[in-house]
Amino acid sequence: MLSARHILYVTLFAMAVGIQWPLWFGKGGIARMHSLERELQSIRDANDRLRAENDAVAAEIESLESGSGAVEERARMRLGMIRNDEVLFRFIARTPKSADELQALDDKILRPGGGKPQIFAPKRSDLYIDGAPDTPAKPK
């Protein structure tokens, strides 16, 4: 049979296991802590990606506010606009078969909405100075 000494040891062991059980397997246990750490790391990664995206957008906003170079570039690339004194040459790989097709292609490129050609002109006159470099002028 078990002696009192053995019963005491088994009881102490059972109490130790009972006390440790919530630490390992309970709501606030080690497994839950590891899953929360993984979730925290994924949130930090998402925050880093969003922070980098915000920095890129902030840089784009700064370039748009600081001068006409970025505005002009976007007007040219995204909207197909040109300045009044420019001539636009576009090279098309496929050659049209007839004069009517050539005229339709010309109208499509130069007059996307069917109206007059789109010409770039800044809304504010201080954004662009003819003949000046793209760097902003230094105040005197």
The reported pLDDT for the residue numbered 120 is: 58
Task: Give me the pLDDT at residue 96, please.
Answer: 55
CB 58 within 8 A of CB 50: no
Query: Do 45 and 3 fall into the same domain?
Result: yes
Domain count, the chain: 2
Provide the CA 32 distance to its chain's centre, in angstroms: 33
How many CA atoms within 13 Å lie on the side-chain side of 89? Answer: 1
Residue tagged 């009517």 (tokens): 100
Predicted pLDDT at 140? 44
- Is 76 domain-assigned? no
- Domain C-terminal end among 34, 66, 98: 66
Residue 23's domain spans which residues?
1-66
Whether 34 is covered by a domain: the verdict is yes
Q: Flag whether 72 is in a domain.
A: no
Q: 14 and 37: one domain? A: yes
Residue-level pLDDT at 1: 65
Quote the pLDDT of residue 119.
61
Residues 23 and 57 in one domain: yes
Considering the domain architecture, whether residues 51 and 110 belong to the same structural domain is answered as no
Q: What pLDDT is recorded for position 56?
A: 92
* Domain limit, last residue, from 18, 40, 66: 66
Q: What is the dihedral of CA 134, 138, 139, 140, to 10 degrees?
A: -130
* 90 and 29 within one domain: no
pTM of the model: 0.42
Alpha helices (runs of H) in 67-111, residue ranges in sequence order: 68-79, 99-110
Average pLDDT per block of 10 residues along the chain, 140 residues long: 86 90 79 90 96 92 79 77 77 66 67 57 54 48
